[in-house]
Amino acid sequence: MPFEQGPIRPPSEAHSLLVRVSRNCPWNRCAFCPVYKGARFSLRPADEVLADLDAMKARLGDRYRTAFLQDADPLSTKPADLVRILEGLRQRFPSVQRVTAYARSRSLARLDLDALRSLRAAGLDRVHVGLESGCDAVLTLVDKGVSREQQIRGCRKAVQAGFELSVYVMPGLGGVEHSDAHADDTASAIAAIGPDFVRLRTTVAMPGTALHGLAEQGRWSPLGELATLGELRRFIAGLEGVSTRFESDHVLNLLMELRGDLPREHAKLLDVVDAFLARPLREQQRYALARRAGWCMSMTHYEHLGLAEQAEDALGELETQGQDIDDVLASLRGRTL
């Protein structure tokens, strides 16, 4: 028996049972996002999703510990229907210990708190929200379709309803023009929300996206690797006193070592950035090239493999060809998706 699955899920859900509750994205206008373009949003009938769960159970068995509801905003589904789906999932897969879903902050802000609590009671444990930025100027620029106030209100509702809340932040999204405001306003929004997780997704203006078009028009100036790290340090500094788990768990991030529990490890996170920024520029470029070329996954991995000489040779070759290192790094970063 066939069953549907959507195109994406968070890295933290890599081993989860993927259950497609809705198709595509109800907004689908975010300037930075290359996913779902040309596809219409639709909600799947509860009976159809339950039939998928039967097919999954028959084919895959009851071996999953976690499940993830797709696509971009399954909470657009009527709460009563989503409760049926959640209860059906729990009944068919008793081994599942955690059920999570993407959720737009606008949907969370719109839903009644009692409705959200009914979803929590039915077995939805965690929601992943693409906060991206807490700065209204940035949210407007990238056509996020939500304001800072709605972001905070929706995410706080999720916390009040008893969900674990994981929010995504995009370093570099404000470009050169809004870098400081993006860092400061996003940190203050995180402080106002109090999520369980903050996860980094470094900005890439993928060809074909509206953000790439803004860059070509001169309306958005991308940050280079070092400027992005500078912005990231400012953002982390603004999280002083915030209680959350900070995660750099995506291939687009330069420093995967940026992981820790706040506020206890706040100084450690700043030290990771400072230690890198204190290195000579050539060392920074060598590591960035190795990281963006996919030769290593972290600074520790880079040093363990002894990649400095290989990276230096590659940098020298690029310079002989007359190529700009920053342009090369930006191009390589865009190829990792």
Tens of pLDDT, residue by residue over 35-65, are: 998 889 999 999 999 999 999 999 999 999 9
Domains and CATH numbers, the chain: 11-278 (3.20.20.70), 280-337 (no CATH)
Mean confidence (pLDDT) of the chain: 95
The predicted model gives 105-112 an average pLDDT of 96
Q: How confident is the model at residue 11 (pLDDT cuts 50, 70, 90)?
A: confident
Question: Are 254 and 298 a contacting pair, CB within 8 Å?
Answer: no
What letters, b where the CB count within 10 A reaches 16 and e where it falls short, cover 111-131?
A: beeebbbbbbebbbbbbbbbb
Determine the straight-line distance between the first and last CA of the chain, rounded to whole angstroms: 31
The predicted model gives 117-142 an average pLDDT of 98
How far apart are alpha carbons 120 and 136 in whole angstroms? 30
**Residue 1: pLDDT above 70?**
no
- Dihedral pair phi/psi, residue 78, rounded to 5°: -55, 135
What percent of the chain clears pLDDT 70, i.e. is strictly above it? 99
pLDDT of residue 2: 85
Question: Are 262 and 242 a contacting pair, CB within 8 Å?
Answer: yes
Residue type, 81: D
Question: Are 139 and 183 a contacting pair, CB within 8 Å?
Answer: no
The predicted model gives 126-134 an average pLDDT of 98
165-186 pLDDT tens trace: 999 999 999 999 999 999 999 9
How far apart are alpha carbons 202 and 335 in whole angstroms? 13
Question: Are 75 and 82 a contacting pair, CB within 8 Å?
Answer: yes
Q: 91 or 39: which carries more pLDDT confidence?
A: 91
How far apart are alpha carbons 46 and 267 in whole angstroms? 47
Both structure tokens of 54: 């039967």
Q: How confident is the model at residue 336 (pLDDT cuts 50, 70, 90)?
A: low
Is residue 67 classed as helix, strand or coil in its secondary structure?
Answer: strand
Q: How confident is the model at residue 330 (pLDDT cuts 50, 70, 90)?
A: confident
**Residue 151: pLDDT above 80?**
yes
- CA separation (Å) from 79 to 85, 115, 116, 119, 224? 10, 6, 8, 7, 43
How far apart are alpha carbons 294 and 92 in whole angstroms? 40
**Residue 109: pLDDT above 90?**
yes
Question: Are 72 and 30 a contacting pair, CB within 8 Å?
Answer: no
How far apart are alpha carbons 55 and 326 in whole angstroms? 49
In order, the DSSP letters of 245-265 are EEE--STT-S-TT--EEETTT
The predicted model gives 124-146 an average pLDDT of 98
The predicted model gives 292-320 an average pLDDT of 95
The total number of residues shown for the chain amounts to: 337
